[in-house]
Structure 1
């Protein structure tokens, strides 16, 4: 989605989708879940502690409104949560499963990649669990350390049959989550937990969708393409302003939004124009999704590149606690990468 398309979309929201309400990111998620439960009598929401609102309050009030048969707690067993969700979806209902932290999704890895992702394929399309959406808080939070700050999107990007989506703010969170819920493929929806209360926007009260697998050009530029998703998008927007002010460098900022399947066309079109690409994410650099983007762009845009593609990412270590400020790919590291590319 390019800048002009984004303005059109926002205008469409204001004109066609009725009243808006000031919401932070977790409230926009709640609104999306509320819309789904109201419109789809088969929809159920389940996970650890969701009945009383969840750790981040994303399901607050929904059990009281829709009943304990539709919003309910599960045992502390991630493989059981996803396995149950697969069964619910195969039976034809809409299953929305919450994993309390993205870090805890690993016990359900087998259910996701060997069952959910392959169900349609292995049955020759006789059966599927496309009505399954898995939500999980994702990314660093300032004090999460080893087990509450991970960004595991690259693990699932290697698995055909599922979609992986990460929003950057409240408007995107509601629209993309509703798209995941209505999509006929199992989806993983990672929610940047540090933005739950930090990001506030006017969000439509009524349901709306934002297309999956479409990146959004947030700022047009001519010298460097900056690609990120989730929390890191806000870092990149600040970096783009710094690069313009300090270096006179014009940056194009792209929010990937969907990790799998990702929008190669928008990214490659931008790199053909700018000749330089910087990709940044919080996850460790080795095997991170930036590597996949880098490889694709190198294959498609090799003759257009003016400098080697740069990746500014987390280090290949467990996520630290007191050393988090040194670990995360902050604006200064990204600005240095831009300087190297411009001077190459």
Structure 2
């Protein structure tokens, strides 16, 4: 074959093969090391898929963003992740690219543009949208490529992400590396779709199918795709046809394939075909290719040898990188004293909690152009289901107040991605009950990104959730208090205001916090209270509780709309000579154990009250800590009062009986004080 008939510049083809050689050297070294017992870590081989990232590497730079999956070691190598740092990471060493905290399936390396590696199938697609939003809003010509296998096309997150990207014309490429296997399952077994790229057309944007084993054809097709996306014409779905020669996990050949299938796959494998093409076309000599391959092997061997000599990440790192500040991490017997807010000055205005939330967002968006709001129906004229965003779209425009599809995974994923890129998104989830729809993005991505990346990346995002409960008429799927889901997930901060002043101050602190924060807003309180709220910017620090009523006989510890119920109960108890102190926690993570324990030392008794189900709730945690720390100072054990263990009833009579209220709180206190 003549060089002119290749359909690709010879030097480009040589460069693609050079990356393929590096990828193949990594693959061989890992499989040899695992087989011999030289080292041990989980490995998902990508043997046979080398051409896809190797070719893309010639069309993109480190400025372009990439997301990949646990099977993405070939993507990482071609993107430019340092091999020593990559192997040290896989081995759990402190010199790893993420300090050994993420391991091979969770690499983040912003210096190369490798932003997120997710071990959750399909979960990277919504996050890619967020990276693309950041690039587009900043006027950058970056493209974001999110890699996933054909199996991920069955995941709802991918569909939600594609729909959002199409609607907003985001500069993102959905790169489906179709290796014909969804883990251990063949494509015809799990879908009737004749192809995957056609799904893009159904969602209103471009889809193409390319031969991912032919570097010349793939280069030509990908150049057109990348140029199209870089020019701002919207997303593209690429179905790159290839074949996985190895098993889903481990080493060796794909033992699920028949002998004929495997033989055909090896015949089409891009590494060997490209090598032969370089020789046949006279682009490279055998000696040149042998030297290139030897250099790749030497690079890999050196990286592995040094990684094996590097220090194992020590146990002293356990709590580092959970949050930006290690003192925010709850830890037994470590109760930091955080400074409370000072006296507020300046003009005030009478506001409901809904208006205070709107005021906080307006202040943050005015101060920082990288703060934006997204969620269902958040735009004007409604300003969200509860009007907490009214007027913001009119003032800041529809690119900073983004009304989204009804797609919670897409909403939270976009917030995660844009925050990793350095923006400060505020994502609104209409009811906390809907958290279950997007819990993966919250718990496995927003919460864990700082830790898994060793603080190479983090997610300074805010999630606002409204909660029903206490009013009747919302029923079991719109009335739950699910804060325990969040507080049991390391890496998420949680605040729950009880009044308009705190709602604005806590929200402003959350928006400006370096970590993901969830603000829980009680629907019951949005319009029923009015306070004099400072007009300007002020902060209620996270992790600082407040004494709402001083007392001497018992401490009531609570948060959210139960603060009002506890205050009412305290007034009733005062008529009986029982003087109750009421503490509003305000934030649950970080939690202010210092002020809790100081109060209980004084009163000798404690009752923790919350609207959430009592079983396994915050009350159990707080009571356990009080009883452990103050057992010799208590007049009786700390106790809790929460909702009965049942879904919240539609009937207001049943709900009122289920959830703590002033009368039931007073009764619980009487039993404790006796």
TM-score scaled by length of structure 2: 0.48
- Indicate yes or no: 2:416 matched with 1:79: no
1:72-96 Cα offsets, whole Å, 9 max, x none, are 1111111111111000101111110
How many equivalent residue pairs? 331
Q: 2:602 is matched with which residue?
A: 273
The 3-state SS of whatever aligns with 1:128 is: coil
Distance 2:478 2:350 in 1: 28
The 3-state SS of whatever aligns with 1:304 is: coil
CA contact (8 A) 1:141 1:193 kept: no
Q: 2:389 is matched with which residue?
A: 59
4+ residue segments displaced more than 2 Å? none
Give the one of 418, 426, 433 matched to 1:103.
433
- Indicate yes or no: 2:554 matched with 1:224: yes
The 3-state SS of whatever aligns with 1:280 is: strand
Q: 2:668 is matched with which residue?
A: 337
CA contact (8 A) 2:470 2:655 kept: no
Give the one of 367, 373, 379 matched to 1:39.
367
- Indicate yes or no: 2:328 matched with 1:328: no
Give the RMSD, CA atoms, in angstroms: 1.3
- Indicate yes or no: 2:524 matched with 1:204: no
Distance 2:425 2:550 in 1: 38
CA contact (8 A) 1:229 1:255 kept: yes
- Indicate yes or no: 2:352 matched with 1:24: yes
Distance 1:273 1:292 in 2: 20
Q: 1:313 is matched with which residue?
A: 642
Give, in angstroms, the shift of residue 122 of structure 1: 1.0
User: Where does structure 1 lack aligned partners over 5 or more consecutive residues?
Assistant: none
Give, in angstroms, the shift of residue 308 of structure 1: 2.6
Distance 1:307 1:155 in 2: 29
The 3-state SS of whatever aligns with 2:632 is: helix
Q: 1:269 to 1:149 in 2, by over 3 A?
A: same
Give, in angstroms, the shift of residue 310 of structure 1: 2.1
1:37-90 Cα offsets, whole Å, 9 max, x none, are 111111110000001200100011111100011001111111111111000101
Q: 2:42 is matched with which residue?
A: none
TM-score scaled by length of structure 1: 0.94
> 177-186 or 138-147: which moved more?
138-147
Q: 2:516 is matched with which residue?
A: 186
Distance 2:513 2:662 in 1: 35
CA contact (8 A) 1:139 1:282 kept: no
1:205-244 Cα offsets, whole Å, 9 max, x none, are 1111011101101111111000110100001111111111
Distance 1:162 1:155 in 2: 10
Distance 1:338 1:181 in 2: 37
Q: 1:259 is matched with which residue?
A: 588
Distance 1:235 1:137 in 2: 19
Aligned pairs for 1:296-307 (under 5 A) are 296-307=625-636
Aligned pairs for 1:225-244 (under 5 A) are 225-244=555-574
Aligned pairs for 1:50-199 (under 5 A) are 50-52=378-380, 53-129=383-459, 131-142=460-471, 143-199=473-529
1:117-145 Cα offsets, whole Å, 9 max, x none, are 1111111111111x200001124151211
Distance 2:671 2:665 in 1: 10
Distance 1:226 1:237 in 2: 9
Distance 1:325 1:117 in 2: 34
Which of 1 and 2 has greater Rg?
2
The 3-state SS of whatever aligns with 1:333 is: helix
Give, in angstroms, the shift of residue 316 of structure 1: 0.5
Q: 2:112 is matched with which residue?
A: none
Distance 2:639 2:593 in 1: 17
Distance 1:199 1:150 in 2: 21
CA contact (8 A) 2:631 2:637 kept: no
1:148-186 Cα offsets, whole Å, 9 max, x none, are 111111111111111000000000000000000001110
Q: 1:215 is matched with which residue?
A: 545
Q: Which has the higher contact order (CA 8 A, sep 6+)?
A: 1
